[in-house]
Amino acid sequence: MTNTPQTLTLIQPDDWHIHLRDNDALATTVPHACMSFNRVICMPNLVPPVKTTEQATLYRERILTALDKADIPSQRKAEFDPRMVLYLTDHTTADEIARAKVSGIVQAVKLYPAGATTNSSDGVTDILGRAGVFESMQKHGIPLLVHGEVTHHDVDIFDREKRFLDEILSVIIKNFPELRIVMEHITTRDAADFCLAQADNVGATITPQHLLFNRNHMLVGGVKPHFYCLPILKRADHQKRLLEVATSGNPKFFLGTDSAPHATHIKESACGCAGCYSAPHALPLYATAFESVGALDKLENFASRFGAKFYGLPINTSTITLVKSDMSVPEGYPYLDGKSLTPLLSGQTLAWSVQS
């Protein structure tokens, strides 16, 4: 038996991949994110997507308005810093990248292969044709965040990430060796090992669900729609490899929750949508995953140092304390107009909670 600490104080973490959605949804998502994270990288797959610096600036203002209205401590409000991302399309220009750079609020550009995931119909159809934009990003030091899945109908959903590495990402890296790239929400041994084989300018985020679960959790004993996210949960041996690299102390791997809210009734339906909501209890979830392999001592670097290092940003100066005391994950949170939002592991108990 290892001695489990009763409390775990961490440098305040950042979330390098989150979906806050827009408008009324922000009343739910912004306070949840703000209570755990300082900087959050806000994904741009709104309807319509955030394609320009001007749109990103307005979106950031809506997030800050929701923050202002939220009933949370003023110190948390002061530290919360939403960082924006532009959605790469077939029409993004090198000039737009230059505008993003001067804005100071656009942190990255996100590549969604067209049709890969929720709200990605405006995504890129000819990825390797985006050379001019990648060139400009490389020059301005703006990272490319990739949703790494091919979308051809004939490719099995469990093979889509590996095919993306082989056919697309390796070509982008070969042609733009200095471009900073984050492989978002990696789900396979292949992606972990691919990332390890690249230079320091290629990193990866890992979600709590891909560390804690595998496809059996989603499919055995009945389909569980709240485990359905993209890229889809894989076999247990992939989950094991993700846990290994996340807890290895290698700075290429860092926290990105991919917390992705969808109202309960549209997840629990004949065609449920992809995304797990984890923002309110993301840190207890990650602590549970790290503790499962006896690596709680590796959590702070993963959650609070390595992402900032990758983005060239300072390490936060505040702290947050996790306590080894049970947390009941609520059945649901109020969301939008009278709707409910079911969090990951709703109704269950986690062994860690955030100290209030």
21 vs 76 by CB, closer to Zn ion: 21
Q: Which does 118 bind (CB under 5 to 8 A by kind): Zn ion, ligand NCD, none?
A: ligand NCD
The reply to whether 108 sits near ligand NCD by the rule CB under 6 A is no
Taken in order 126, 22, 209, 300, is the CA torsion positive or negative? positive
Task: Choose, by CB under 5 A, the member of 14, 15, 96, 258 that binds Zn ion.
Answer: 258
Whether residue 147 is annotated as binding a ligand: the answer is yes
8 A C-beta contact, residue 116 and residue 123 = yes
The reply to whether 229 sits near ligand NCD by the rule CB under 6 A is yes
151 vs 250 by CB, closer to ligand NCD: 151
**Torsions phi, psi for 324 (to 5 deg):** -80, 75
DSSP string for residues in 220-244: TTS--GGG--SSPP--HHHHHHHHH
233 vs 320 by CB, closer to ligand NCD: 233
Which stretch, 112-120, 191-199, 217-225, 263-271, contacts ligand NCD (CB under 6 A)? 112-120
Rounded CA gap, 117 and 110, in Å?
13
From 258, 297, 326, 337, the catalytic residue = 258
Give the residue nearest to Zn ion (CB).
Answer: 258
Rounded CA gap, 282 and 255, in Å?
10
56-89: string of b/e by CB count within 10 Å (b at 16+)? beebbeebbebbeebeeeeebeebbbbbbbbbbb
Rounded CA gap, 137 and 334, in Å?
39
Which of 192, 197, 176, 66 shows the shortest CA–CA distance to 127?
A: 176
The contacts of residue 271 (CB under 8 Å, 6+ apart) are: none
The reply to whether 234 sits near ligand NCD by the rule CB under 6 A is no
The reply to whether 45 sits near ligand NCD by the rule CB under 6 A is yes
Task: Choose, by CB under 6 A, the member of 15, 96, 258, 291 that binds ligand NCD.
Answer: 258
Rounded CA gap, 24 and 247, in Å?
37
Interface pattern 207-246 for Zn ion (x via CB under 5 A): ----------------------------------------
Amino acid letter at 223? V
Token reading at 40: 């959050």
Q: Which does 190 bind (CB under 5 to 8 A by kind): Zn ion, ligand NCD, none?
A: none
The contacts of residue 340 (CB under 8 Å, 6+ apart) are: 263, 264, 265, 332, 333, 334
Catalytic-residue membership of 95: no
Q: Which does 123 bind (CB under 5 to 8 A by kind): ligand NCD, Zn ion, none?
A: none
Task: Choose, by CB under 6 A, the member of 83, 130, 147, 226 that binds ligand NCD.
Answer: 147
Q: DSSP character for 302? A: I
The reply to whether 155 sits near ligand NCD by the rule CB under 6 A is no
Q: Which does 241 bind (CB under 5 to 8 A by kind): ligand NCD, Zn ion, none?
A: none
Residues contributing to the annotated binding site for Zn(2+): 17, 19, 110, 147, 185, 258
Residues contributing to the annotated binding site: 17, 19-21, 45, 110, 147, 185, 230, 258, 262, 274
Residues contributing to the annotated binding site for substrate: 19-21, 45, 147, 230, 262, 274
Active site residues: 258
The binding site for ligand NCD (CB under 6 A) comprises 19, 45, 117-119, 147, 229-230, 258, 260, 274-275
